Amino acid sequence: MRIKLNEAQAASLKAFLEACEDAEQLSAREYVADLYDIALPVSLDLVFVKGGIGVDGAAELKYDAEQDGWYMGERLEDAEAVLAALKEAGALE
């Protein structure tokens, strides 16, 4: 899926990902990030493209107390849900 972003939003997102300890830059344009501190934690694979971002993967993160760890839940296939997660995390201003 693709999400349109203006230049300011893309710059804000890139700065957020670069500062986030739970994000990793895979290439000049691609990042993976786990957003744990939002109502519905998510894992995202984002690629910066002209005019916005491509979401190569997005899934809910679930916590297993018994295993004391996180695991992937349901896939997110709605661009609005991904955008809402990024906004809630403070990645887009």
Q: 25 pLDDT exceeds 90?
A: yes
> What pLDDT score was predicted for residue 5?
97
Break the chain into its structural domains and give their ranges.
Answer: 2-89
Average pLDDT across the chain, whole number? 96
**pLDDT tens per residue, range 28-61:** 999 999 999 999 999 999 999 999 999 999 999 9
Q: 93 pLDDT exceeds 80?
A: no
Q: 69 pLDDT exceeds 90?
A: yes
Residue 54 tokens read as 């491509």
